[in-house]
C-alpha cells in the first residue's frame, strides 16, 4: 500500500477498508456513498466500518492486526474519526480505483 503518512488508527482503518473491498468487490459502490468528490461522509464511513467490523477482524492474518482492530472497533462502539488530509487522500485514491 502506498505510504500516505497515516497515523496508527487511520492505518488500521485503511488496511481494513482495502481488505474488505478486495474480498468483496460487490461492496465497492458503497465507497461512492462515503467519498463524494472532495467530501467524506463521516456517518457513512462509520456505518460501513461498524457493519463490516466483525468480518474484518476475523479475516485478518496477523494476531497483531486482529488485536489492533478489536481495540479500535469494540462491539457496539461507533467509530468516531477525525479525517486528516492524508486519510482523505487515501479514500479518494481508493474510490478512484473503482
pLDDT for the residue 23? 81
What's the chain's length in residues?
A: 98
**Does 32 map to a domain?**
yes
Q: Count how many domains the chain has.
A: 1
**Does 26 map to a domain?**
yes
For cell 462491539, the residue is: 75
The helix, strand and coil proportions of the chain, stated in percent and rounded to the nearest 5, come to: 65, 5, 30
**Does 13 map to a domain?**
yes
pTM: 0.64
**Does 75 map to a domain?**
yes
Domain of residue 39: give its range. 8-96
**Does 3 map to a domain?**
no
For cell 474519526, the residue is: 81
Q: Answer for the pair 27, 59: CB distance below 8 angstroms, yes or no.
A: no
**Does 70 map to a domain?**
yes
**Does 88 map to a domain?**
yes
pLDDT in tens, the chain (98 residues): 688 888 877 887 788 788 778 888 888 888 888 777 667 777 777 778 777 766 666 665 566 665 666 655 544 445 545 567 888 788 888 877 65
**Does 2 map to a domain?**
no
Q: Where are the beta strands (DSSP E) in 1-98?
A: 35-36, 39-40
pLDDT for the residue 37? 66
The C-alpha angle with vertex 13 and arms to 28 and 6, in degrees rounded to 5, equals 115
Q: Answer for the pair 73, 66: CB distance below 8 angstroms, yes or no.
A: no
Amino acid at each position: 500500500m502506498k505510504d500516505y503518512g497515516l497515523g496508527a488508527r487511520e492505518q488500521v482503518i485503511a488496511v481494513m477498508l482495502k481488505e474488505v473491498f478486495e474480498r468483496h468487490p460487490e461492496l465497492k459502490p458503497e465507497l461512492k456513498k462515503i467519498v463524494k468528490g472532495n467530501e467524506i461522509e463521516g456517518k457513512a464511513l462509520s456505518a460501513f466500518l461498524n457493519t463490516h467490523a466483525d468480518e474484518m477482524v476475523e479475516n485478518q492474518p496477523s494476531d497483531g492486526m486482529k488485536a489492533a482492530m478489536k481495540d479500535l472497533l469494540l462491539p457496539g462502539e461507533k467509530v468516531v474519526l477525525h479525517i486528516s488530509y492524508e486519510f482523505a487522500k487515501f479514500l479518494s485514491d481508493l474510490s478512484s480505483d473503482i
